[in-house]
Structure 1
Amino acid sequence: MKPKFNDYSNEGPDFYPKHAPFQQKGAGGHTLCGYCNNKTGSWYADEYVNFAHQAAVLLNKSKGELTLQYPYYIFPLRLIKQVIAMICSVNKPGFAIRNKELVQFILNKEQKYINPKFKIYAYLTTSKLSRQSGESYVFKGSRISHFSEIGFAPLGFIMTYNTLPPNNKLLDISHFSHYDYDDFDVAFLKLNVLPVSYYLPGDFRTRDEILIDYEKNIRDAKESFNV
């Protein structure tokens, strides 16, 4: 049986979903063919590694407390294409079928510009917990966020679909798609360091905040049932 949101929402910060198996075949699924995965990897993967290395160095030197804009020496188009390829991989195959323009964008290394309905956001994290989720929804009052997420320290990324992001501290890097493939730039970015303490996508509460909410939910439940 597929788990529901409510199966997770009232659990404490040390909860691990029992249905989730450990996999040793890497993150994500098979939304691109083997040839395409190899091809895009040779085009873009090194740039992701480069960006992650720079982020890790800055996090280490600052002891995880970055508060300013810092320079990143990158090929922006290569980076954002690798991020989108990874996000496609954490979604089911039907995602690529419904979003052929994203697949075309990835498979043509020279193509620039993504549809404005897609936005790519970035954050830094020092959390040991990793997180990856296909299409997800978060409701906060009247605000709805529809997105996919990948988060593996030191980096995390969220791609939204015609909605606002689930957190205002995420940095929009969608403009990286405006560069040419061979364009190099020094990008000054203020990437916020966010905690990844729980398995719910788009949840950036600290462990203490999760524990407070958990205890409140327990109290509210007991009051509702007059326990």
Structure 2
Amino acid sequence: MKKYGNCKLCGKYGKLTFEHIPPEGAFNSSPVYFQDSENLLDKSSYRYGGRKRSNKGAGGYHLCKSCNNNTGSWYANDYIEFVKQGAYVLTHRVYANNFICAEYEIRPLNVLKQVLTMFIALENSGYLIKIPGLREFILDKESNQLPLNIRVLMYMTSTIKLRNSLSWSNMEGYARTFGEISYTPFGFHISIDTPTINRPFCDITHFTSLDFNEDALVKLPLRHLIPSSMFPGMYV
């Protein structure tokens, strides 16, 4: 069955293609069960309290063929390599106070753009892609001009829990806009216009200091966290 709609990245109406979130090669090729807002929040729906199955792996019809192919060829393989290194670290390193510090040989800007592409694809309100400059940052592979009001942080995790990609809530005295994606071995947190929540995240916004396809050896002290609910910022 063909899917049509507005691409969440370029905004154009047309045929949408299935996008794996995270990329298929990042341990996302097997069927998964998940819960979305209909399962968790819509009490009028017969799906409330249940869960859905995706036979292709986690993902959905979010992007047009052009955007899916472009971001996939520009960024996805570098993200997959990052995930493979992370999976090795997660299973072979000794935790020290729940922190796992390791060096990663990656292309940081490419990885950051793949992470933001995943956030955009999962975000249903359209708020994120309307931030001036964000669409251009993703679709121009050479750009390192991430909007200054966006911060991207990360942690290490051993669970699969695709959470709400964007939420609005009052936490720690601020009306915050933030979101989160968790899928072994990494979790990513995005904060917009407000200070980040007081959690032991590792800030990777500085990945914008490198160029497209530029290799770097990056040392990341990542806290191991287990999400406790679908809502960002909540951990066991």
Question: Would you call these one fold, judging by a TM-score over 0.5?
Answer: yes
Map 1:47-196 → 2, pairs under 5 A: 47-62=78-93, 67=99, 69-92=101-124, 94-95=126-127, 98-99=130-131, 101-127=133-159, 129-196=160-227
How far, CA to CA, are the matches of 2:84 and 2:69 in structure 1?
22
Give runs of ≥4 in structure 1 deviating > 4 Å.
1-5, 28-31, 63-66
Report sequence identity in percent: 30
Instruction: Tell me if the contact between 1:126 and 1:154 (Cα under 8 Å) persists in the aligned partners.
Output: yes
Greater relative contact order, per chain length (Cα 8 Å cut-off, separation 6+): 1
Q: Unpaired runs of 5+ in structure 2? A: 1-36
Do structure 1's residue 201 and structure 2's residue 232 form an aligned pair?
A: yes
Q: Which amino acid is 1:114 matched to? A: L
Q: 1:165 to 1:136 in 2, by over 3 A?
A: same
Aligned to 2:28: none
The 3-state SS of whatever aligns with 1:190 is strand
Instruction: Tell me if the contact between 1:69 and 1:188 (Cα under 8 Å) persists in the aligned partners.
Output: yes
Map 1:4-43 → 2, pairs under 5 A: 18=49, 20-24=51-55, 26-43=57-74
Q: 1:167 to 1:49 in 2, by over 3 A?
A: farther
How far, CA to CA, are the matches of 2:63 and 2:132 in structure 1?
11
Q: 1:52 to 1:43 in 2, by over 3 A?
A: same
Instruction: Give the strand-richer structure, 1 or 2.
Output: 2
TM-score normalized by the length of structure 1 = 0.75
How far, CA to CA, are the matches of 2:67 and 2:200 in structure 1?
33
RMSD between aligned residues: 2.8
Instruction: Tell me if the contact between 2:39 and 2:49 (Cα under 8 Å) persists in the aligned partners.
Output: no
Instruction: Tell me if the contact between 2:162 and 2:183 (Cα under 8 Å) persists in the aligned partners.
Output: yes
Q: Which amino acid is 1:81 matched to? A: K
Instruction: Give the helix-richer structure, 1 or 2.
Output: 1
Instruction: Tell me if the contact between 1:29 and 1:92 (Cα under 8 Å) persists in the aligned partners.
Output: no
Aligned to 2:10: none
Aligned to 2:13: none
TM-score normalized by the length of structure 2 = 0.73
Deviations for 1:21-60, whole angstroms, at most 9, x for unmatched residues?
3334554554432211111101111111111111111110
